[in-house]
């Protein structure tokens, strides 16, 4: 039996809870889809998982019940061919906790203990986040030409707040803190670009990240001795549940068909694939 720790991390509303809800549904219902089947464990957050999974299957928005809590989830998977077991220990860190680490510059002892037993990280990114986009010198010069120095100076005099910081800066800072506090450990990272159906869908997820979050992409590929990374485009929700027409359309199809995982040029509904790559169970 292999016991693997997988850290779910990312800024608020980056898709972690929806992914976990779809994952829980997948491992119980995709009997013919893959090599693994689920055998639940005692002491896991069954009530929490069942609640978010039911909401997800019914096309209802999945909401995390405790924004400041680290949810600990254990999922036992059994290889249907070999019979070997794989236990996934998944600490799901709320986006608010992630945010607090950046603003308060505090490294929580509980989080540090979690990292001691983490084999890899699922790093979630919301492509709808307006603070993803880098501010280029070219655009600032254009603003200067059109609006003049007076408006630019007025904007620059605003007091600094955490909300002014680009999201990718926070993500890189988080990864740097991991390396600083636990140096010399090579970690696998599955970068999860959530709501992939809302991107243009024509690009490889890594190419999307390179274009839209160049600082994060550059940091990851420049530190191969620290992080081994793969990029996944994930549509686990399938569409906007607040749009009644879209919701009705989604409810008319099998819930598993709403899941789309893009890795390179490959597309599947195996939501386990970003995790199995970390645990060396995907044969790639």
**What is the average per-residue pLDDT within 173-183?**
88
Across the range 261-273, mean pLDDT stands at 90
Residues 13 and 166: their CA atoms lie apart, in Å, by 15
* pTM confidence score: 0.85
253 vs 111 pLDDT, higher one: 253
Please give the pLDDT value at position 37.
78
Displacement of CA 3 from its chain's centroid (Å): 21
Question: Given this model, what pLDDT does residue 66 score?
Answer: 59
User: What CATH number has the domain bearing residue 75?
Assistant: 3.40.50.300
Q: What is the pLDDT of residue 10?
A: 87
Q: How confident is the model at residue 260 (pLDDT cuts 50, 70, 90)?
A: very high
| pLDDT top residue among 57 and 104 | 57
Q: What is the mean pLDDT of residues 76-98?
A: 79
Contact at 8 Å (CB) between 101 and 107?
Answer: yes
Reduced to 3 DSSP states, what percent helix, strand and coil does the chain have, rounded to the nearest 5?
45, 20, 35
Residue 284 domain flag: no
User: Which of these ranges, 145-154, 221-230, 231-240, has the smallest mean pLDDT?
Assistant: 145-154
Q: Can you tell me the distance from the alpha carbon of 67 to that of 107, in angstroms, rounded to the nearest whole number? A: 18
Give residue 47's domain range.
Answer: 2-278
Rounded Cα–Cα distance for residues 98 and 68 (Å)? 9
Give pLDDT, residue 282: 62
Which of 264 and 283 is assigned the larger pLDDT?
A: 264
- The pLDDT score that the predictor gives to residue 143 is 67
Average pLDDT, the chain: 82
User: At which residue do the structure tokens 């980056």 appear?
Assistant: 14
- Is residue 260 included in any domain, yes or no? yes
> What is the count of structural domains for the chain?
1
In a domain, 106, yes or no: yes
Contact at 8 Å (CB) between 123 and 189?
yes
**Pairing between strand 85-92 and 2-10?**
parallel
Residue 242 has pLDDT above 90, yes or no: no
Taking only the tens place, the pLDDT of each residue in 7-64 is: 888 888 888 889 999 998 988 887 666 677 777 665 556 778 888 899 999 998 887 6
For residue 262, the SS3 value is strand
Residue range 123-136, pLDDT digits in tens: 999 988 877 766 66
- Residue 100 has a pLDDT of 77
In a domain, 37, yes or no: yes
Q: What is the mean pLDDT of residues 148-157?
A: 60
Mean pLDDT of 241-252: 88
Whether residue 283 is contained in a domain is answered as no
pLDDT at 107: 77
pLDDT above 70 covers what percent of the chain? Answer: 82
Alpha helices in 30-166 (DSSP H): 46-57, 95-104, 109-115, 137-156
Calpha distance 219→216 (Å, rounded): 5
Q: Which residues contact 215 (CB under 8 A, 6 or more apart)?
A: 134, 166, 168, 169, 172
Structure tokens at 187: 């970690």
Angstrom distance (rounded) from CA 138 to CA 143: 9
Question: What letter does residue 66 receive in the DSSP assignment?
Answer: -
Over residues 197-217, the mean pLDDT reads 87
Whether residue 191 lies inside any domain: the answer is yes
Residues in the chain: 284
Residues 6+ apart with CB under 8 A from 14: 95, 124, 125, 126, 129, 194
In a domain, 206, yes or no: yes
Q: What is the DSSP string of 192-217?
A: EE--GGGS-S-S-HHHHHHHH-HHHH
Give the whole-angstrom CA distance, residue 252 versus residue 211. 35
pLDDT at 188 over 90: yes
């Amino acid at each position: 039996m292999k016991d693997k720790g997988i850290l779910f991390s990312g800024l608020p509303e980056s898709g972690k809870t929806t992914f976990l809800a779809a994952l829980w549904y997948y491992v119980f219902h995709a009997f013919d889809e893959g090599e693994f089947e689920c055998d639940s464990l005692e002491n896991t957050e069954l009530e929490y998982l069942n609640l978010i999974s039911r909401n997800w299957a019914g096309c209802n928005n999945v909401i995390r019940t405790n924004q400041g809590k680290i949810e600990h989830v254990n999922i036992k998977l059994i290889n249907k061919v070999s019979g070997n077991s794989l236990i996934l220990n998944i600490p799901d860190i709320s986006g608010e906790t992630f945010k607090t680490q950046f603003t308060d510059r505090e490294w929580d002892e509980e989080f540090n203990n979690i990292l001691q037993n983490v084999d890899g990280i699922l790093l979630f990114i919301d492509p709808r986040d307006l603070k993803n986009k880098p501010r280029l010198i070219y655009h600032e010069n254009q603003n200067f030409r059109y609006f003049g120095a007076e408006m630019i100076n007025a904007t620059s005099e605003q007091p600094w707040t955490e909300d002014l910081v680009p999201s990718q800066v926070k993500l890189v800072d988080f990864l740097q803190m991991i390396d600083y506090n636990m140096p010399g450990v090579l970690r696998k990272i599955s970068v999860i670009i959530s709501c992939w159906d809302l991107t243009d869908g024509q690009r490889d997820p890594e190419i999307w990240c390179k274009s839209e979050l160049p600082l994060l992409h550059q940091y990851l590929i420049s530190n191969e001795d620290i992080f081994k990374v793969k990029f996944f485009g994930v549509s686990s929700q399938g569409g906007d549940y607040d749009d009644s027409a879209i919701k009705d359309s989604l409810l008319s199809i099998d819930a598993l068909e709403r899941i789309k995982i893009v890795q390179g040029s490959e597309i599947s509904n195996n939501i386990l694939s970003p995790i199995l790559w970390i645990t060396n169970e995907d044969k790639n």
